Structures are given as C-alpha cells and as structure tokens.
C-alpha cells in the first residue's frame, strides 16, 4: 500500500516547522515516528499534501531533569522512555506504559509526542501523563503555551494542540517528597491496544498517603482522572482494604462505549481490577 503523493519537508528548527505549517495550512501534517500517521496514510484515511518531518528538528530530543521537573522531548521514543533509568525511577508509571506500547519495533520508532498528539483513546502513555499531571508544551506563531494533560486530551483523536502548533516537550513535575507510581493494562488480545488501563500515582509514605492520583484509560474518549477513588485514598493508610475500596470507585461517572470485544459494563467492572493492581504495585513501591 502506498500513501497518496505528498511533498516532503525536513525543517531543522521548530521555527521552520511552524513556518511550514503556516504556509501549507490544512494540507500539512507533522511527522514524528510515523507509527500512527503512516499506517493511516497507507490506508488513505489521511492524505496530507505536505509532510513535515520533525526528525531533524533540533531541541525535540532527550530526557533531562531540571530541579523539580523532568522534561521529555516530544521525539523521545517509547523505547527510550521505557529504558531510561531516570523515568523508571521517578516516573515509573510512564516507563511501564511506554514498555507495553505496540511491540519492540514499534517502540523503536513511535514517540511520546506523537502518541500524545494523535490521542488514540486506547493509547497507553496519555493515561500515565494524566495521572502524573504532566504539562504539554506547544509552540506556534503566537508563541509558547503549556496545557495540563487532563485538558490537553479532549476526546477521541482530539487535543488542545492547534493546527498551527508543534508539540515540543512534555514536562512532568516531581515533588521532593516520596512518590511512587505504576501502570497496569488489559491489552486487546489482537491489537495490544488498551481495553482498560490504570496509572496510579501515590504520594506519602508506607503509613499514610498524602495524595493519590489515578488516570484511567479506555473508559471514555480521553483518559480521565478517577476523582472519587482519589478522594477515598487521600490521608489514608495504604492498606489492602483501603486500596480495594478505592479501586471499586474508579468507574464512577464514566461512560465507556461498547465495542466488539468488550461491553461498557465489562470495561467498568474490569477497570476496577486493573486499578487495584496498579494501586497495589504503587503502594509496594512507596513502602520500599
């Protein structure tokens, strides 16, 4: 299968990429790892007239720690995230989500920024970004802006990223206190995409949780925070019973869609199982 014809552009800077977007408007698409866009183009579901390849753009690569935050370049691949000792230690849920995207070949090419911008409702990393309260940084003709993940992911394949903007960085705050996280997923047996998943982030110590944040995937068009479960955990000791009681609340207020593999009722039920697994893993790490 060949994609439809397009003109290829290889800018060297974010400014150049923005200028190309401005010049070609709706006809242009940004190319990162290409593991969502190219399959879509091969199926002719997308037929952009201009492809702007970000691979050679300076400043979109790499993972670095800057004081109380970790800054991840948008072109960081899933494999780089999953293998990074910094991400594994401090943003474990994100490393675990990256490690179960697609397969090894896909993880070598697909990027965090690409996954975020594509916003597949059954993707892994957006769920972790929402739970970790990541901020997505984008640059456009009007300058730079930052949008929290929970607002960035608006709906199925829909984000706050403007058509004239480039997603450049994902910034994740890390507190000086103790923080542990985990990601658990029920994969679709054929595609490997998320049926339901949970990213759990716990702050505190083995005795008492200061705060808990839960991101849920597969329960809507975009990842959601499980507010009722989070409230149930705040200030509590992370006992097995408390974690289970909180996990039982994660589907509250959600309205997942039925699909050929899983009914909405099943997704709401099984989400609680994966939330409990994620909470248990995160609590074990908090105690360690």
Residues that bind other proteins (CB under 8 A): 1-8, 10, 27, 31, 34-35, 38-39, 42-44, 47-51, 53, 55, 79, 102-106, 108-109, 192
Closest distance to other proteins from the beta carbon of 82 (Å): 12
Of 38 and 244, which has the nearer Cβ to other proteins?
A: 38
- Report how far Cα 273 is from the mean position of its chain's Cα atoms: 21
Sign of CA dihedral 184, 126, 283, 88: positive
Closest distance between other proteins and the C-beta of residue 237, in Å? 35
Q: How far is the CB of 46 from other proteins (least distance, A)?
A: 10
The minimum distance between CB 129 and other proteins, in angstroms, equals 23
Please state the closest distance from residue 244 (CB atom) to other proteins, in A: 29
- Please identify, using beta-carbon distances, which residue of 152 and 193 lies nearer to other proteins: 193
* CB closer to other proteins out of 13 and 175: 13
Which of residues 42 and 69 has its CB atom nearest to other proteins in the complex?
42
Residue 149 vs 186, nearer CB to other proteins:
186
Using the minimum distance from each CB to other proteins, give the nearer residue, 25 or 59: 25
Least spacing, CB of residue 187 vs other proteins, in Å: 11
Supply the angle between the helices 240-247 and 264-287 in degrees, to the nearest 10. Answer: 150
Smallest separation (angstroms) from other proteins to the CB of 114: 12
Q: Which is nearer to other proteins, 10 or 257 (CB)?
A: 10
- Chain position carrying tokens 């869609």: 257
Give the residue with the Cβ less far from other proteins, 5 or 68: 5
* CA–centroid distance for 151 within its chain: 12
Kind of pairing between the strands at 7-9 and 50-53: parallel
- For tokens 């009007």, the residue is 142
Alpha-carbon distance 53 to 204, whole Å? Answer: 43
């Amino acid at each position: 299968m060949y994609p439809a014809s397009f003109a290829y552009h290889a800018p060297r800077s974010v400014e150049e990429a923005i200028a190309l977007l401005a010049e070609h408007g709706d006809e242009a698409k940004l190319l990162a790892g290409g593991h969502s866009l190219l399959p879509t183009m091969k199926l002719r579901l997308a037929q952009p007239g201009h492809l702007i390849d970000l691979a050679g753009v300076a400043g979109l690569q790499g993972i670095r720690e800057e004081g109380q935050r970790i800054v991840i370049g948008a072109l960081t691949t899933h494999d780089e995230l999953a293998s990074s000792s910094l991400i594994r230690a401090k943003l474990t849920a994100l490393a675990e989500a990256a490690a179960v995207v697609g397969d090894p070949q896909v993880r070598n090419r697909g990027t965090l920024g690409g996954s975020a911008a594509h916003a597949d409702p059954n993707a892994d990393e957006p769920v972790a970004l929402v739970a970790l309260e990541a901020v997505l940084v984008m640059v456009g003709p009007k300058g730079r802006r930052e949008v929290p993940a929970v607002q960035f992911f608006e709906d199925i394949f829909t984000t706050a990223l403007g058509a004239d903007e480039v997603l450049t960085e994902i910034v994740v705050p890390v507190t000086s206190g103790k923080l542990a996280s985990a990601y658990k997923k029920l994969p679709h047996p054929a595609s490997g995409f998320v049926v339901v998943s949970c990213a759990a982030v716990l702050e505190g110590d083995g005795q008492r949780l200061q705060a808990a944040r839960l991101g849920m995937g597969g329960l809507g068009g975009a990842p959601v925070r499980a507010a009722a479960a989070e409230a149930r955990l705040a200030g509590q000791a992370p006992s097995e019973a408390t974690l289970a009681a909180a996990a039982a609340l994660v589907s509250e207020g959600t309205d997942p869609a039925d699909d050929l593999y899983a009914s909405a009722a099943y997704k709401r039920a099984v989400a609680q199982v994966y939330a409990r697994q994620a909470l248990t893993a995160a609590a074990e790490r908090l105690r360690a």
